[in-house]
Amino acid sequence: MAQLDPITWFRSAHPEQGSLRVQVSTALGAFPVNRALVEVAVMLGGGRVPLYRRRTDSSGIADGFILPAKPFYESQSPSTAAESMANYVVSVSHPSYETVTDLPVGVFIGTKTILPVVLTPA
């Protein structure tokens, strides 16, 4: 039997979808960072698999990351609720700021997760 590549396996194991918005700012969240590069990845088989790369807009927002999420039934029991999200890592870079690498973020079915990221000037 042919073995699935890691991302195909991941998508089949997480058949539902959720979404992610990343809000990038500086000065303790006071100013948005335009044109920051946001990368969303998943850790599979001990390696980092990039799923999206997108730049922030003038409001410091990168939006519309549609990501696989675990099935709805996995969030319905107290014994599985903590494991009901699909886990991703987000990295943000911009030439004027220190890079932030592999921030953990969870995505739930049918929900938009908002991840605020505050960058420090380089």
Six-digit token string for 92: 């943000």
Distance between CA 23 and CA 7 in Å, rounded? 26
Give 50-55's long-range contacts (Cβ < 8 A, gap of 24+). 51/7, 51/88
CB burial of residue 34 (10 Å; 0-12, 13-18, 19+): middle
Q: Which residues of the chain have pLDDT under 50?
A: 1
pTM of the shown model: 0.84
Q: What pLDDT score was predicted for residue 47?
A: 84
End-to-end CA distance of the chain: 51
**73 C-beta neighbours (distance < 10 Å), count:** 10
Asked if 110 and 18 touch (Cβ cutoff 8 Å), the reply is yes
pLDDT of residue 10: 77
